[in-house]
Structure 1
Amino acid sequence: MKSMSTTSDQNNAAHATLLNNTVLHENDLIKKAKSQFSYHKDVLNTFESYRQCVLHNELITDVGRKFFLTELHNLHTNFKRVLNYAAEHNKFRDQNLPTIGPLIICGVARTGTTLLYNLLACDPNCRAPLFTDMMIDVVPPIARSDSIEQKRRIDILNSPSQETEQLTSNFIQIAACHPYFPNEEDCHILRQAGCFPLFTLISDNEDSDAESWIRNEMNKGYAYDYHETFVRMLNSVDAPKSHWLLKTPYHAFYLDELLRHYPNALLIMTHRSLDEVLPSWCSLASVAANGHFDAMNSISRDRITKRCYQSMDKSIECIMKFRTCQNGGVDQSRKNMFDITYDNVMKNPIGVVHQIYDYFNLQWSNEFEIAMNNWLLENPQGKHSRHKYTLSKFGFNQEDIQARYADYTKVFLSSTFSHNQSSSTN
């Protein structure tokens, strides 16, 4: 049997190796990339600040610490590889994106966006980023038709590691809240540029000012410079016949920046009663944190609830500022915007997609409709277990939430607004 001192020495050595292997640097970022993409320093500083949070938070387990540090290292490595590729192949940055769109789902989290996104991705004429595009060997970019290389990347994704095996039960719980699909949201692109709003959940600073960390996140407009570079890179090898399809709740924080980079964007905004959204979001965040912390004690749980609440406040504030006139009504001059409710998506998902295509004058096809029906048959609600949550678990009550977000509810969830949206597509 090994002595305790030997085991301790081995643990210390393993910890030192981990720290050395996950040190963030720019030694492999070529001079041309540094010159063309000046924001590389901002991204490095952001990732280093996240890294320090991971190192100093004593509640994170050894498995969780290794997971977070490795994740940060991989994101930054992908970022540098893309910048190097873009600097050496800069002609693709001058190539035009499709004249239509992109079609972008930018609603608040937990409002049916994942279901809608996967149905819209069934259109053979559109192109949504694959998870392997964004996370596995990001350069050189490859076409979806390259079956050999696609299989190799999928095999890498599915190959187990010691850390993923230790977190398997946690991943299963996350899948019940938010299933994984081949077409994933483009937050994975933004994360490579250090735009990762809820990473502050791991901060060791209990009293971090809400306005400060949210403002810091919202000042990362350069993340959309990187986002556009990444999409153009994918477009250079596998452009869609019609339009790109994108989706992440992060976009709600950056709607003006989003349109600056994609002026032809067609925006879909999903809405749901926030007394259902908030506990669902807190539940997902809690489940995601479970495998990485010693225990989901009251401090951790309260921090998650607080951060989710703060983030929701800012998200709703950004949406209201972007969407409403001085009199508080919806700005009808925005013709590139289509609103839908969670209830309508769940009741008639293909019908809602049809409304979207009619509104934006996109081409419908029988092949598209058949693919959506097949997807729904293969992915029934509850396939990955049921996501259960309550208001009381996180200290919420319906009256407080309704009062807090009364203006948003009046504008986007009133019966009059829902009727107007239905009428606009008839």
Structure 2
Amino acid sequence: MPASLRAFNLAGRAARRVRPASTRLDADALVAKAQSSTNLDDFGGDGFREGLDRLVESLNAEAKLSALGLVAMRAFLGATLGMRLRVVDWAKGHPEVRQEQITAPLMVCGMPRTGTTLLSNLLELDPQHRSVLSWEATTVAPPPTLSNRREDPRIAAAVQGTGRMGKLAPKVQAMHPMAATLPTECVTLLGGEFKSLHFETLGRCDAYGAWFEHCDMTPAYEFHRLCLQVLQSTIPVARWALKTPAHLWHLDALYTVYPDARMVWIHRDPLRVVGSVASLNTTLHATYTETVDSAGLARVWRDKCHHAVTVGSEARDRRGDDDTVFDLQYADLMEDPVGSVAGIYRHFGLELGELARRRMEAWMTENPQDRYGRHRYTLDQFGLQPDEVREQFGPYVDRYQVPPEGFD
């Protein structure tokens, strides 16, 4: 971290000792500031407040945010509130957006670190598809139009933000490549209801995470749908291609809002998943918090991933209709990415056009797996024992016949 930021964090520690209240997040203050900065006051109901209040309380109690982390978290939560205000306002001023039909969206899920980003990037190259781009997800409204979607000034702001993140945590790009104009996780849209997994990647908030696993996600998916309707109202789309591992945690709510959704579930050796998740989240937390308990963080995410595959499988069993889900092995995706896409299309009765295929092949040539460096990690560096992880995830591995990978 640059010396100037280290000094900033040091000053923040001193301020915390003198004025503890000034170094805490305040949900009411965040709401008031968002309303003031947008000149809007209608959040479309107050259902989002439970998630916001629980998140803020958990961060204050558990995250140990640094001075930089406190500034970043205030800005992040404020931007999320502002996004919600603008979406609700746009929908009020343009009531026709609620008539937009979101038909049979492709939803990519799986535990984190299973290749969902790669698959999402490939699907977005098909002219029939539209993904939520990183810059769009944080500033849904006003929606981009066909005339300005390549020159919207919000793109430049998002590029600058990605650049700042690259300087703060340069290792992250090798772990999880990001860019303002690439597809991103639609988990950001769920965050508008403050029911989202991605908040937990920035700092410890285990109490919030425990609540998230059992909360009613239907309102979050309804806001998610409203965001898609707003974006679709100005740029028509044949089919949305979306992704986030977080879908696994709440498939019942997803299908309640998107009953014709087509799910692609990517499966990967849990030993590799847990180690990779621990490595990524340790790096992210170190950027924003004073201390990081990497072993404790690894155990939390190990258990979260196990919970996800367990409740995801249970939701499938309740539906009893596996035709709506395509199971894809990570090993197959890595060996033949474009062929894996073709398999998805065949399962759902879609046609992979020659143009889309050529674009995907070109993307893979331009973006080899190690383009930004290799992400290396082991389980023992996080205090985890392989045999314990194998035993915990044994039923999942057996059910989906997930092949082992090993470590290189």
TM band (smaller chain) = 0.7 to 0.9
Does 2:281 match 1:279? no
Contact 1:106–1:268 (Cα < 8 Å) also in 2: yes
The residue matched to 1:354 in structure 2 has which SS? helix
- Residues 171-200 of structure 1 deviation map (CA, whole Å, 9 limit, x = unaligned): 321111111141111011111220223535
Does 2:204 correspond to 1:197? no
Question: Counterpart in 2 of 1:245?
Answer: 241
Change (3 A) 1:280 1:414: closer
Amino acid of the structure 2 residue aligned with 1:175? Q
Shift of 1:316: 1.4
How do residues 209-224 of structure 1 correspond to structure 2 at under 5 angstroms? Answer: 212-216=210-214, 218-224=215-221
Change (3 A) 1:287 1:22: farther
Equivalent pair of 1:95/1:232 in contact (CA under 8 Å): yes
Q: Equivalents in 2 of 1:267, 1:121: separation in Å?
A: 15
User: Could you list the per-position Cα deviations for residues 88-142 of structure 1 after superposition, in whole angstroms to 9, with x for gaps in the alignment?
Assistant: 21221023234xx201112111111111111111101111111121113x21101
Separation of aligned partners in 1, 2:354 and 2:204: 53
Q: 2:331 aligns with which of 338, 343, 355?
A: 343
Alignment equivalent of 1:82, drawn from 68, 87, 91: 87
CA contact under 8 A between 1:252 and 1:318: conserved in structure 2?
Answer: yes
Q: Give matches, 1:54-65, under 5 Å.
A: 54-57=59-62, 59-65=64-70
- Displacement after TM superposition at 1:47 (Å): 1.9
Task: State the match for 2:224 in structure 1.
Answer: 227
So what's the TM-score if we normalise by structure 2?
0.84
Instruction: Show the counterpart of 1:266.
Output: 262
Alpha-carbon separation, structure 2, partners of 1:148 and 1:66: 30
Contact 1:130 1:184 in 2 (8 A): yes
Distance in 1, matches of 2:344 and 2:58, equals 42
Asked if the contact 2:196–2:212 (Cα under 8 Å) also holds between the matched residues in 1, the reply is: no
TM-aligned CA distance change 1:280 to 1:49, over 3 Å: same
Decide whether the 8 Å contact of 2:63 with 2:203 is kept in 1. Answer: no
Could you say what the CA RMSD is over the residues aligned between the two structures, in angstroms?
A: 3.2
Q: Determine if the alignment matches structure 1 residue 383 to structure 2 residue 390.
A: no
User: Which of 72, 76, 93 does residue 71 from structure 1 map onto?
Assistant: 76
CA 1:83–1:381 in 2, change beyond 3 Å: closer, same or farther? Answer: same
Partner of residue 140, structure 1: 142
Compared with structure 1, are the counterparts of its residues 33 and 87 closer, same or farther at alpha carbon in structure 2 (3 Å cutoff)? farther
CA contact (8 A) 2:263 2:324 kept: yes
Residue in 2 that maps onto 1:424: none
Query: 5+ unaligned residues in a row in structure 1: which ranges?
Result: 1-6, 326-330, 416-426
1:379 partner amino acid? N
- In structure 1, the partner of 2:134 is 131
Of residues 172, 175, 193 in structure 2, which corresponds to 1:174?
172
Q: Aligned AA for 2:135?
A: T
- Give the CA deviation at 1:62: 0.5
- Cα displacement string for residues 16-75 of structure 1 (whole angstroms, at most 9, x for unaligned residues): 5997996323756999956xx43xx23133223323444455732101111111111111
Matched ranges for 1:303-382 at <5 A? 303-324=296-317, 333-382=321-370
2:76 partner SS: helix
Preserved contact between residue 279 and residue 390 of structure 1 (Cα < 8 Å): yes
Q: Is the 8 A contact 2:329 2:402 kept in 1?
A: no
Is 1:55–1:65's contact at 8 Å kept on the other side of the alignment? no
Shift of 1:302: 3.3
- Label 1:199 to 1:132 Cα distance change in 2 as closer, same or farther (>3 A): closer
Shift of 1:231: 0.7
Amino acid at match of 2:275: P
Say whether the 8 Å CA contact 1:106–1:252 is kept in structure 2. yes
State the SS of the aligned residue for 1:387: coil
Whichever residue aligns with residue 191 of structure 1, its letter is G
Q: Which is worse superposed, 225-234 or 180-189?
A: 180-189
Distance 1:371 1:277, change over 3 A: same
Alignment check: 8 A CA contact 2:107 2:261 kept: yes
Q: Do the aligned partners of 1:107 and 1:113 also contact (CA within 8 Å) in 2? A: yes
Cα-to-partner distance string for 1:266-325 (whole Å, 9 max, x where unaligned): 1111101111111111111111111112233xxx22331232022112101112202347
Displacement of 1:332 = 6.7
In 1: Cα distance, 2:394 partner to 2:145 partner: 46
State the distance in 2 between where 1:359 and 1:408 align: 22
Could you tell me whether the CA contact under 8 Å between 2:114 and 2:330 is conserved in 1?
A: yes
1:53–1:202 Cα contact (<8 Å) kept: no
Distance 1:125 1:201, change over 3 A: closer
CA contact (8 A) 2:216 2:253 kept: no
Q: Is the 8 A contact 1:54 1:68 kept in 2?
A: no
Given that 1:135 and 1:188 are in contact with CA atoms closer than 8 Å, whether structure 2 keeps it comes out as: yes
- Secondary structure of 1:281 counterpart: helix
CA contact (8 A) 1:201 1:304 kept: no
Corresponding letter in the other structure for 1:247: K
- After the TM superposition, which of the residue ranges 43-52 and 271-280 deviates more from structure 2? 43-52
Alpha-carbon distance between aligned partners in 2 of 1:367 and 1:204, rounded to the nearest angstrom = 44
Question: Quick one: structure 1 residues 340 and 19, their matched pair in 2 at CA, closer, same or farther if it must change by over 3 Å?
Answer: closer
- Distance in 2 of aligned mates of 1:33 and 1:61: 32
Q: Judging changes above 3 Å, is the alpha-carbon distance between structure 1 residues 108 and 18 closer, same or farther for their aligned structure 2 residues?
A: closer
CA contact (8 A) 2:333 2:340 kept: yes
Larger radius of gyration: 1
